[in-house]
Amino acid sequence: MRSRIVGLCAVAAAAWLPIAAQAQDPDASPYSYKRPSPTTITNFQSLFDMCVSASNDTRARSEHALCVGYFTGIIDLYVSETAPAARSFCLPTNPPLTRQQGRDKLVVWAGSNPSAMSEPATVGVLQFLDASFPCGAPAQ
């Protein structure tokens, strides 16, 4: 019985060590994965830079996913918080706009609207949506 308790204590201690190490250093990991440096979206330019990252390395794929997620999140929040009659943009529904199509259109629009680059990222995305998808306009 005593050897069983000692064994359970040893297993618990071995499981606890990585947790304790992370508690002391939140960037420490018991695994070999190295956390990439954080990416910050400070303005529309920084979001645009993530959206156009061309390389196929892990960081570029992460930035591309962050771009699409940020863009989608702004749309989701706006649509959920704004009554349909008060919306300044209306996304196509038949066929619906895909995330990739939205990102591609955002990149093209941003390239033609350099004045938006210094705006907060959310403002730049909303300006893009207002200009690209006005309500009552035929589907693009």
Could you read off the pLDDT of 33-90 as tens digits, one per residue? 444 445 678 899 989 988 887 667 787 888 888 888 998 999 999 999 999 999 999 9
Could you read off the pLDDT of 96-138 as tens digits, one per residue? 988 889 889 999 999 999 999 999 999 999 999 999 999 976 6
Full domain range(s) for residue 28 = 1-35
Which helix (DSSP H) or strand (DSSP E) does residue 62 occupy? helix 58-81
The pTM assigned to this predicted structure is 0.68
Q: Which residue has the higher pLDDT, 70 or 2?
A: 70
Q: Is residue 94 part of a domain?
A: yes
- Rounded to whole angstroms, the Cα distance separating 115 from 131 reads 14
Q: Is residue 125 part of a domain?
A: yes
Q: Is residue 1 part of a domain?
A: yes
Q: What is the DSSP string of 94-119?
A: TTBPPHHHHHHHHHHHHHH-GGGGGS
Residues 59, 104: one domain? yes
Residues 52, 14: one domain? no
Q: What 3-state DSSP class applies to 61? A: helix
Q: Is residue 17 part of a domain?
A: yes
Q: Is residue 138 part of a domain?
A: no
Specify the length of the chain in residues.
140
Q: Is residue 139 part of a domain?
A: no
